[in-house]
A and B are shown apart, each in its own frame.
Chain A
Amino acid sequence: MSNLLLPTTVVGSYPKPKWLNRMIREYREGKLSDDIMEEAYKDAIKLVVKEHEIAGVDIIWDGEMRREEMTSYFAEHIEGFTIYGEVRVWGNNYYKKPAIVDELRYKDELAVGDFKYLKSITNKRIKVPITGPYTIVDWSFNEYYKNKEEAVYALAEVMNIELKNLVKAGADYIQLDEPAIPTHDDELEIAKNATEIVTKGVNAYIGMHMCYGDYRKIYPEILEFKVDQLDFELANKKFVDLKIFKEYDFTKDLGFGCIDVHTRRIETKEEVKESIRKAFEIVEPKRVYVDPDCGLKLLPKRIAFEKLKVMVEATKELREEL
């Protein structure tokens, strides 16, 4: 899809500026008007875009300034979900776990507005990340549908509407975030069918992002999914997963997570170049997309920026060498 060799991109999230977090808090306490909050989001997005531009990233997103998490944000915008409260993920970390309490229906847009705004302020190519139907259902309670499979398909239908609307608005690169897929290998068929439903009639380049799972459980079956690109977190486990992908011919484009987002240490340029070269053992360079392992939101903003910068510099040098 891209003419540029080794296009650099992001998985999605970027650290929110401290002032934005403060404003979100005040907004929730009722201290700020909608207008002021709206302006703040837009200002924050401009800042994120500029930082991505300075870093030199080729394909960008808005840093998910409006999203707090990757499940409840979408659930809140879809008819049929409700949120009763938080549950624990581990230790003292909790998340708002949605519950499906009624038939799932399209309510309002999930990402079209964000896409349109981003398009109006940048000439960069845009990738739209959106949490996939399998993961949203896996991370929700199901009170309404007979089983998980039915719920996943129903949500896939709803999200298909959004994907089509995104294409109508001009989006040509959509990424489905599906970290839950590698966690239930017995449900791969459901995830595969859901992917087919959600991308049906969607005329765009489709990526699928997965992270922190056991890829052995999904490979090579995942190659049969109707997507153009598979994007993996790889740096976190020091690229040991690559040997899994070598066992079968990797027939998709490869999104190559080469920056560890769970350490504040900034990788060196040489190190990143060395990492990216490993991708060429799996697919030829023209099928490689370069990105960090996952969203950058948990890092301090300065470090996130430096990491993107070194990723781009390493890629540029590699392009020269190829």
Chain B
Amino acid sequence: MKLITTTIGSYLIPRWFREYLKKVEGLQKEGEEAEVDKEVYKKAVVEVIENQNKAKIELLTDGQLIWQDFLAYLATKISGFEMDGLTRYFDNNVYYRIPIVKEKVSRSKPIILEEFSIAREIEKEKNIKAVLSCFTLAKLSINKFYKNEEEFILDLAKVMHEEAKELAKKTKYIQLSEPSLLYASKEELEMVKQAVEIITSNVDAKFFLVTYFESAEKIFPEVLDFKIDVIGLDFVEGYEKNLSLLKEYGIDKALQIGILDGRNTKMENVEEVKSKLKEILDIASPKEVYVSPNTGLEFLPWIKAYEKLEVLGKVVE
């Protein structure tokens, strides 16, 4: 079976671009509306795409280089949100500004479309995955407008659907990054199922639903009924549990295997990774297999992020 190498999305920002952003946006919370020069941004994306190409990654991402913080960045682009103070992002020593939803959410302008188009201009041949999120963005936000969580999530899904429709004109690969899903209740899973239907309906693209930081214990088997093409699981944090879930329920979709630790500088042994992959694929027979680090590579220093990509390239070779 062919293994396709890819990443979760984020990449550490090149040092010079970091310095540039510091100058334009400053160090504080007020910088989010600052205008980033397209040509400068483009140069940074070129570097990140080059790194992926050098390491023989097949399905690329643009590195999410102007996402000042994680999924909450999306909220700065969507009408209805205001940004509040900082809080910890899961169990990482990194922080994001808490989005507060104060009005009905709407897509008054493109969300990631413009930045994605720049990556598309740079890399014309290979496929590039566009990264969005719905449930996690809702979970990380404070709701001061909607009567209940469901309304909020479904409205946000409509916003993401509009964005996905536009993105699908430029790529056939769209990912929903959903770490919060791993902590969802059964009722919430039902909401997300509906949300996913809204987002993907009549959009001509392959949809990834990617989870990380935990095993998928809480979302199986429900997630198998979601209208998505690829499920992404974290096989670093949840190796044993995810294996047994696959054994118990199987998988009739494509699988993205997060196999390299995106949060530790320690480099995996290529042979060990291969045997783990073999173990997984002996148990499950997904329609297609993508192999990636378990998380974005923004948690690693520049040289180590690249080394991880190289290991990934070698594993699949």
Q: Report A's interface with B, CB cutoff 8 A.
A: 84-94, 97, 99, 138-139, 141-143, 180, 183-184
Contact = CB atoms under 8 A, between A and B. Distances in A.
Nearest to A85: B301
A143 B264 contact: yes
Contacts of B18: 92, 94
Nearest to B298: A88
B266 interface: yes
A143 B300 contact: no
A180 B303 CA distance: 26
B68 A85 contact: no
A224 B28 CA distance: 38
B25 A92 contact: yes
Interface stretch (B88-96, B169-177, B210-218): B88-96
A89 B18 CA distance: 13
A250 B306 CA distance: 49
B68 A92 contact: yes
User: Interface size bucket, B side?
Assistant: 20 to 34
Contacts of B298: 87-88
B86 A90 contact: yes
Given A87-B12, A91-B27, A94-B18, A142 B264 contact: yes
A92 B27 contact: yes
B249 interface: no
A284 to B, nearest CB: 34
- Secondary structure of the A contact surface, majority rule: strand
A87 B298 CA distance: 7
Contacts of B97: 90
A92 B31 contact: yes
Contacts of B91: 183-184
B13 A88 contact: yes
Residue in A84, A89, A143 with the greatest tally of chain B CB atoms within 10 Å: A84
A93 B27 contact: yes
8 closest residue pairs by CB, A with B: A85-B301, A143-B266, A90-B95, A84-B301, A141-B265, A92-B22, A99-B265, A91-B68
Contacts of B299: 87
A67 B21 CA distance: 26
A92 to B, nearest CB: 5
Given A84-B265, A141-B265, A89 B95 contact: yes
A142 B31 CA distance: 33
A189 B93 CA distance: 20
B303 A84 contact: yes
Contact of B301 (A87, A89, A92, A142): A87
A89 B22 contact: no
Contacts of B183: none
11 contacts: A88-B94, A89-B93, A90-B69, A90-B86, A90-B96, A91-B25, A91-B29, A92-B18, A143-B264, A143-B266, A183-B91
Interface in B83-125: 86, 88, 91, 93-97
Nearest to B86: A90
B56 to A, nearest CB: 23
A216 to B, nearest CB: 15
B212 to A, nearest CB: 17
Contact of A89 (B94, B303, B304): B94
Contact of A91 (B15, B69, B88, B265): B69
Interface string B1-20: 00000000000110100100
B31 A84 contact: no
A34 B250 CA distance: 65
B34 to A, nearest CB: 10
Nearest to B21: A92
Nearest to B24: A92
A86 B265 CA distance: 12
Residue in B15, B28, B88, B93 with the greatest tally of chain A CB atoms within 10 Å: B93
B266 A91 contact: no
A49 to B, nearest CB: 29
A183 B69 CA distance: 19
Nearest to B96: A90
A180 B91 CA distance: 11
A79 B301 CA distance: 20
Residue in B15, B18, B300, B301 with the greatest tally of chain A CB atoms within 10 Å: B301
Contacts of B31: 91-92
A86 B91 CA distance: 19
Given A90-B68, A92-B68, 20 more contacts: A84-B265, A85-B303, A86-B15, A86-B301, A87-B298, A87-B299, A87-B300, A89-B94, A90-B95, A91-B25, A91-B29, A91-B69, A92-B22, A94-B18, A99-B265, A141-B266, A142-B264, A142-B266, A143-B265, A180-B93
